[in-house]
Amino acid sequence: MPTDLRLTVLNDPACPLCRRFADWLARQPLLVPLDLVPAGSAEARTRFPTLDHARTAEEITVIGSDGSVWTREHAWVMCLWATRSHRGAALRLSRPSLLPLARGAAYSAAGVRHLLSRTQVGDRLQVEVHGGDYADGCAGCRPLPQG
């Protein structure tokens, strides 16, 4: 990846869990500069006119200054990868066998661990979000369908 890479994180500002993660991310010492932009906002549409903005409102999306786009678990890994403290975890989580745990790891790093539960579904570990009004309407925070 280029050394002048900059990342833009599009997330749902209406979701308290997404807001808490974005607030945490904004306070982290970074190895890669980050811009936090509300998904579907006028700024997001101006900066990234070719993106499917309806989709970015449904799942976290990270866009690199080089044009790379990451979604779902890959986007969570990129958020952690950008931080000084969590890059090692991001590199481990990028392995295919651990990638499904990336969202839970990102939430745990952000201190929202108490809002998560883990359930074994067959041979897979599924992370679920629960608690109060957190993530009730945010598709990006709900566990992905297994299969």
Q: Which of 41-50, 80-89, 112-121 has the lowest mean pLDDT?
A: 112-121
Quick check: is 104 in a domain?
yes
Q: How many domains does the chain have?
A: 1
Q: Please tell me the predicted confidence (pLDDT) of residue 74.
A: 93
Say which DSSP state 87 is in: H
Q: Please tell me the predicted confidence (pLDDT) of residue 144.
A: 43
Mean pLDDT estimate for the chain: 80
Reply yes or no on whether the pLDDT at 125 is more than 60. no
In one-letter notation, the amino acid at residue 114 is H
Rounded CA gap, 65 and 86, in Å?
Answer: 21
The more confident residue out of 116 and 55 is: 55
Quick check: is 81 in a domain?
yes
What is the domain extent for residue 118? 7-129
Confidence of residue 51 (pLDDT cuts 50, 70, 90): very high
pTM higher than 0.85: no
CA distances from 107 to 20, 25, 50, 53, 68 (A): 9, 10, 29, 23, 23
Quick check: is 142 in a domain?
no
Quick check: is 144 in a domain?
no
